[in-house]
Amino acid sequence: MRVRLVEGASLPSYADGIRQVYADVFSEPPWNEDPSAGDRYVERLAADAARPGFTAALALGEGTVGGFATRGTVGGFATAWTTPDVFPSGRSYGHVAEALGPGRVQGWLCGALEVDELAVSPDARGAGLGAALLSAVTEAAPDGRCWLLTSVHAEATLRFYRRAGWHQVPVSVPGRAGLVVLLGPGHPTARP
């Protein structure tokens, strides 16, 4: 598999693979989403691709379908965009703002690159694809500022990000999902 950046307009041609990887990954614990969540994600992805600073990376390889070789098999994906200067209030943003307060939200998150999703198919794990995908979508982070949300219950995910140099903000995000904010290794607050 190889990792490459893909423009938002090209993502629909990979929709089936992205949908399958999303369903495979996020139906596992601790997420436990219904496999149909992959359909909703692909629908949301079309709108996300229009966000300022949107970037996407795909892990692509060859596979077989019905005994025939295929090119462009999606083994994983990552998406990110620039967090607006006016911090959003939808999805989990309101909870993040409540946990961090306006000063940290404005200084740490607004204008930073926000990693929205990163997923590697269970069959493709262990080959460094997660790290390559993360690197691909974050390499252009403004001033090294990047962040993401994940669940405190996603222990393997947290270990992955820690190995990649990400730092957990020691403030819990309210809500039943048990979300935590992680700052990338180049984020100014993570520097000594």
Q: Average the pLDDT over 133-139 and give the result.
A: 97
pLDDT tens track for 54-80: 999 999 986 555 554 456 789 999 999
Nearest of 45, 35, 37, 36 to residue 15 by alpha carbon: 45
Do 95 and 174 contact (CB within 8 A), yes or no?
yes
Round to whole Å and give the CA distance between 172 and 131: 25
DSSP string, 51-120: STT-EEEEEEEEEEETTEEEEEEEEEEEEEEEPPSS---TTTHHHHHHHHHHHHIIIIITTSEEEEEEEE
Short-list 116, 74, 121, 107, CA closest to 187: 107
76-104 pLDDT, tens digit per residue, is 999 999 999 999 988 899 999 999 999 99
Residue 143 has which token pair?
A: 């001033």
Distance CA 45, CA 77 (A): 12
pTM of the entire predicted model: 0.90
pLDDT of residue 191: 54
Stretch 27-41: mean pLDDT: 93
